[in-house]
Amino acid sequence: MIEFDRFTLENGLRVIVHHDASTPIVAMNIIYNVGSRDEHPDRTGFAHLFEHLMFGGSKNIPRYDEPLERVGGENNAFTNNDFTNYYLTVPGHNLETAFWLESDRMLDLAFSTKSFDVQRNVVVEEFRQNYLNQPYGDAWLLLRPLAYKVHPYQWATIGKDPAHIEQAGMDEVKEFYKQYYNPCNAILVIAGNVTTADIRQLAEKWFGPITNGSIYNCNLPAEPIQTEARSLIVHRDVPYDAIYKAWHMGGRADQGFYATDLVSDILSAGQSGRLNQQLVKNLRLFSDISAFISGDIDAGLFVITGKLMKGVSLEDAENALQREIENICRHGIEESELQKVKNRVEAIIEFSEMRVLDKAMNLAYYELLGDADLANSLVDRYAEVTVNEVVAAAKQIFRLENCSTLHYVAKN
């Protein structure tokens, strides 16, 4: 249970405060409601490039990191399809420096041309390091456009191509900032040994004077229902064949979300998951295999991916995987099996709230979804799911025509 207070400044900035006296560290987390789904198709990778630029200096502060390090703080950020998240931890007695820094970069950015040039390079190197210079590193870059034809989830957060980043212009970046980096498009969370009164005063002082800008209404085209199975085969210089399969599922707020998530747990949570027991241990067709959901806010993907054992044919592996899927749809699951994955989810949620930073991030995310208090009802949401709902979710997802398959084949 994460208790919290919540208030909104006049300019629309939502503020959440969680009190935890057990640590001298205070966490600050700010979510901006902009992610790679909000990008133009010819300018992908922008939201993430922008996250880098947010450290290149703001209106009154030439460098972001140094003043924070000077008070013993540490920070980082990440971007995903849906939002951009900035977070920091700081010894509590120097919390005001965090307010000073974060409010100034919400007020106005002032990064230099040089910083812009360098960060484009840095992001291109990140693209190479994590996607292009890794075995299987481009699998998601291939799978997304196979599964999505209309919705912007068809590109990854890093972008479609390093060229988009290399070509980004200063004007476009400034326009992007103006549109999305506004108080009414952000959520601020503070967690630690603080009082709501103090935080309210600090928030009013530093964030209060920022003009509100306009609320961004994310209004993206829905992905049309997929009507036939899709497949793609690529040959790469990797040691083993791999299979990636993606099925369309509902969005985060959809009724069936929790049941669908539990389907993925039935298949692959822990060592005892069905896919591991059957396909890795008993039949020895895969060296590893996992099922998971993308967890996006808009309609997302249910994914199964695995690497084949040497000498196993893609056809045999596919057939065995298909049997496991049909097994759930036809024969259902045991009550005890469902209880197992629910227990596991409960533990994972409990362990995801160990530090103030974890709690601050969770609260910000659920507030973005609509209500921070969702963080506290998650266990119940999962607990309510019935065996029938899980099987119904499995049947809904695992239709042949709903699937996109990537075969990643080892050369030689």
Among positions 222, 253, 347, 369, the unique one binding another protein when judged by CB under 8 A: 347
Stretch that binds another protein, among 101-109, 141-149, 167-175, 219-227 (CB under 8 A): 101-109
Q: How far is the CB of 217 from another protein (least distance, A)?
A: 30
If one asks whether residue 200 binds another protein (CB under 8 A), the answer comes out as: no
Q: Which residues contact 330 (CB under 8 A, 6 or more apart)?
A: none
Contact 302, 247 (CB under 8 A): yes
Binding mask 47-66 for another protein (x = CB under 8 A): ------------xxx---xx
Q: Where do runs of H (alpha helix) occur along 222-275?
A: 257-268, 274-275
Q: Look at the chain and count its residues.
A: 412
Contact 119, 64 (CB under 8 A): no
The amino acid at residue 215 is: I
Query: Residue 58 pairs with which residues in a beta bridge?
Result: 109
If one asks whether residue 112 binds another protein (CB under 8 A), the answer comes out as: no
Q: How far is the CB of 394 from another protein (least distance, A)?
A: 19
Q: How far is the CB of 292 from another protein (least distance, A)?
A: 16
If one asks whether residue 313 binds another protein (CB under 8 A), the answer comes out as: no
Binding mask 354-373 for another protein (x = CB under 8 A): xxx-----------------
Stretch that binds another protein, among 138-146, 179-187, 341-349, 360-368 (CB under 8 A): 341-349
If one asks whether residue 379 binds another protein (CB under 8 A), the answer comes out as: no
For residues 11 and 115, which CB has a smaller minimum distance to another protein in the complex?
Answer: 115
Among positions 110, 118, 146, 409, the unique one binding another protein when judged by CB under 8 A: 118
If one asks whether residue 234 binds another protein (CB under 8 A), the answer comes out as: no
Q: How far is the CB of 18 from another protein (least distance, A)?
A: 10
From residue 239, alpha-carbon distances to 236, 244, 276, 290, 309 in Å are: 9, 16, 21, 19, 10
If one asks whether residue 217 binds another protein (CB under 8 A), the answer comes out as: no
From residue 162, alpha-carbon distances to 37, 54, 132 in Å are: 17, 20, 10
Among positions 80, 307, 368, 405, the unique one binding another protein when judged by CB under 8 A: 307
For residues 226 and 362, which CB has a smaller minimum distance to another protein in the complex?
Answer: 362
From residue 249, alpha-carbon distances to 92, 149, 225, 311, 365 in Å are: 42, 15, 10, 33, 20
Among positions 7, 11, 97, 145, the unique one binding another protein when judged by CB under 8 A: 97
Q: How far is the CB of 74 from another protein (least distance, A)?
A: 7
Q: How far is the CB of 267 from another protein (least distance, A)?
A: 13
For residues 179 and 287, which CB has a smaller minimum distance to another protein in the complex?
Answer: 287
Contact 85, 93 (CB under 8 A): no
If one asks whether residue 164 binds another protein (CB under 8 A), the answer comes out as: no
Which among 250, 252, 256, 255 is positioned nearest to 371, based on CA atoms? 252
Please list every residue from 258 through 277 that binds another protein, using CB under 8 A.
269-273, 277
Among positions 14, 120, 151, 245, the unique one binding another protein when judged by CB under 8 A: 120
From residue 21, alpha-carbon distances to 94, 245, 351 in Å are: 16, 46, 18
Provide the CB-side half-sphere exposure for 253 (13 A, CA): 9
If one asks whether residue 69 binds another protein (CB under 8 A), the answer comes out as: yes
If one asks whether residue 67 binds another protein (CB under 8 A), the answer comes out as: yes
For residues 51 and 296, which CB has a smaller minimum distance to another protein in the complex?
Answer: 51
Q: For residue 400, how many other CB atoms are within 10 A of its CB?
A: 9
Run of H or E residues at 349: helix 335-351
How is the beta sheet containing 286-293 ordered, strand by strand? 230-236, 403-410, 242-248, 301-308, 286-293
Among positions 12, 135, 145, 332, the unique one binding another protein when judged by CB under 8 A: 135
